Chain A
């Protein structure tokens, strides 16, 4: 086949000619432009006397985008300008977002660390007036540990078994329904879970406020998370392992207990710990169901308790400097608790990761 079409010399090629060398901005240009924009932002801010640093930063970011775009359009051409614009947009969005998040962590650590000490961790708020210094989070720590512990005791077995049902047994309509409603459950706002326990446990069955009531709401929030993560982990267990076990005549339930679960146990533990970290920070259900109490109550089944997140809310609500300090202190402890759980969970996940293929 002689390519009649190809043989036509492409003199009338509609494409622009290419040269390898294109005029380009020097390598330091982005940094240079950034410095100039920040300088201008600060300068404008000082001249105009804007109080908020937020404005200074926004002005600098906008200037940076504008200067980059104009400069590259004139020097490098439209396509390069778009590329540089996208790059600078991505960088600025990163920087803009990192500021509040870093500030959140910084404020909590800086203000919280002034308050947190041995006394703070081992004393309650019993008899401490809002306006005065002193007091601590001991009662709230106990409350959080008990409520989260009970919630875990309720939801971990149910969640685990449900996941086993879905992965190892579930094929019919029931399994489909469970899968669907686990998804629905994942989306329940925490305050709605609180309202449910309120209407059912406190209004209708006429029990009082207690740590256990809060734990029930927390377990509703925790269950779907445990089911989802356990499901994922069980699905990672290779089918060959199950078949090998069946081939040896091991009954299915023993195969699940002795082969499948041990293989996935690392991932399952991680999932449960992440779920615990998630509910440890929930405030709304505790507020509705545990009601808050300044004194130590070690019985989660009777009487009002407190919890760390609720304590933060309560101390913030008190609205004076010593109570703000206590709120920051509790926030620091809460973040530390959640981070330790997260880091430990990730550690376990990495350490016990199932060896898949590669």
Chain B
């Protein structure tokens, strides 16, 4: 249950402002791809175009092609709701539904898809929570509100919620930026495990994190503030961090700007 993503000539707008320009890349299945780059370079915007979340923002508009195993995400007749179910997302700040219990949070997506049998729900909820390395910590308080958990636990709850609907791809938008180092480590370990099952794309500000968790790394940059962000290069992570082919990448990685 992991699929390949092929992007070609993708440009995204906010109203008339061009946020990212002409991006093409391939994301391999069952691997972790990290997006790095300075603030404002459009990596998060780009990530949100991959599951059609960008167009939810007022004025958000996309040109170009995104193919999921050869099927276009932006083709005619494609339902954005189905796209988002197929390509899950984890956000910067943990966002469990505050009015729902831990159990209901994980079951939320399942219920949307018509799963109502208690026994089936129980199975999938447990499987997802185990998958997110959270089961042992919460199994005794499944009916407590999700907002009572720590930040790191909440983020893993969100991951459990995302993988419960069995997506093909998991997008993560700086999932650790609001967390402490120990919780960050837990999430990074989890990412390593999840990549056996899913295609994972992660946006991160933290270059060590990109080096630790990803197989491939893409570097984004922008010419100046107000200019659209561009993909500078994408390569194996090892290559990017040891011997990048573009000077700007090396400057960024070695801390000369950004």
Are B114 and A16 interface neighbours, CB within 8 A?
yes
Are B112 and A79 interface neighbours, CB within 8 A?
yes
Q: A14-B123, A15-B166, A18-B86 are in contact. List 19 more A-B contacts (CB 8 A).
A: A1-B133, A1-B193, A3-B196, A6-B131, A6-B193, A6-B197, A14-B124, A15-B110, A15-B115, A16-B113, A16-B114, A20-B68, A20-B71, A20-B75, A21-B77, A21-B78, A22-B79, A24-B77, A79-B112
Contact with A along B75-105 (1 / 0, CB 8 A): 1011100110110000000000000000000
Are B82 and A20 interface neighbours, CB within 8 A?
yes
Please measure, in the bound complex, the distance between the C-alpha atom of A139 and the C-alpha atom of B164, giving whole angstroms: 73
Please measure, in the bound complex, the distance between the C-alpha atom of A20 and the C-alpha atom of B77, giving whole angstroms: 8
Are B78 and A10 interface neighbours, CB within 8 A?
no
Q: Which residue of A lies closest to B120 (CB)?
A: A14
Q: Using a CB–CB distance below 8 Å, which chain B residues touch chain A? A: 1, 68, 71, 73, 75, 77-79, 82-83, 85-86, 110, 112-115, 117, 120, 123-124, 127, 130-131, 133, 165-166, 193, 196-197
Are A24 and B124 interface neighbours, CB within 8 A?
no
A356 at the interface (CB under 8 A from B): no
A13 at the interface (CB under 8 A from B): yes
> Hey, which chain A residues are within 8 Å of B75, CB to CB?
20-21
> Hey, which chain B residues are within 8 Å of A21, CB to CB?
71, 75, 77-79, 82
Q: Using a CB–CB distance below 8 Å, which chain A residues touch chain B? A: 1, 3, 5-6, 10, 13-16, 18-24, 79
Are A18 and B127 interface neighbours, CB within 8 A?
no
> Hey, which chain A residues are within 8 Å of B78, CB to CB?
20-21
> Hey, which chain A residues are within 8 Å of B166, CB to CB?
10, 13, 15
Of A1, A5, A10, A16, which is in contact with the most chain B CB atoms at under 10 Å from its CB? A5
Contact flag A19-B82 (CB < 8 Å), given A3-B130, A6-B196, A24-B77: yes
Are A5 and B71 interface neighbours, CB within 8 A?
no
Please measure, in the bound complex, the distance between the C-alpha atom of A1 and the C-alpha atom of B186, giving whole angstroms: 13
Chain A min CB distance to B227 (Å) = 24
> Hey, which chain A residues are within 8 Å of B197, CB to CB?
6
Are A18 and B131 interface neighbours, CB within 8 A?
no
> Hey, which chain B residues are within 8 Å of A23, CB to CB?
77
Are B131 and A20 interface neighbours, CB within 8 A?
no
Task: Say whether chain A's binding surface is mostly helix, strand, loop, or mixed.
Answer: loop
Q: What are 17 contact pairs spanning A and B, CB under 8 A?
A: A1-B193, A3-B130, A5-B130, A6-B196, A10-B1, A13-B166, A14-B120, A15-B110, A15-B115, A15-B124, A18-B85, A20-B71, A20-B78, A20-B83, A21-B71, A21-B82, A22-B82
Q: Which residue of A lies closest to B131 (CB)?
A: A6
> Hey, which chain B residues are within 8 Å of A20, CB to CB?
68, 71, 73, 75, 78-79, 82-83, 86
Q: Which residue of A lies closest to B135 (CB)?
A: A5
Of A13, A15, A24, which is in contact with the most chain B CB atoms at under 10 Å from its CB? A15
Q: Which residue of A lies closest to B189 (CB)?
A: A1
> Hey, which chain A residues are within 8 Å of B117, CB to CB?
14
Q: Which residue of A lies closest to B68 (CB)?
A: A20
> Hey, which chain B residues are within 8 Å of A24, CB to CB?
77, 79
Q: Which residue of A lies closest to B123 (CB)?
A: A14
Chain A min CB distance to B199 (Å) = 15
Please measure, in the bound complex, the distance between the C-alpha atom of A24 and the C-alpha atom of B120, giving whole angstroms: 29
Please measure, in the bound complex, the distance between the C-alpha atom of A22 and the C-alpha atom of B79, giving whole angstroms: 6
Of A18, A20, A22, A23, which is in contact with the most chain B CB atoms at under 10 Å from its CB? A20
> Hey, which chain A residues are within 8 Å of B123, CB to CB?
14
Please measure, in the bound complex, the distance between the C-alpha atom of A5 and the C-alpha atom of B127, giving whole angstroms: 7
Chain B min CB distance to A84 (Å) = 12
> Hey, which chain B residues are within 8 Å of A18, CB to CB?
82, 85-86
Chain B min CB distance to A20 (Å) = 5
Are A15 and B165 interface neighbours, CB within 8 A?
yes
> Hey, which chain B residues are within 8 Å of A15, CB to CB?
110, 113, 115, 124, 165-166
Q: Which residue of B lies closest to A8 (CB)?
A: B127
Q: Which residue of B lies closest to A17 (CB)?
A: B166
Chain B min CB distance to A3 (Å) = 6
Which A-B residue pairs are the 10 nearest by beta carbons? Answer: A22-B79, A14-B120, A21-B77, A20-B78, A5-B130, A20-B82, A18-B86, A6-B131, A5-B127, A15-B113
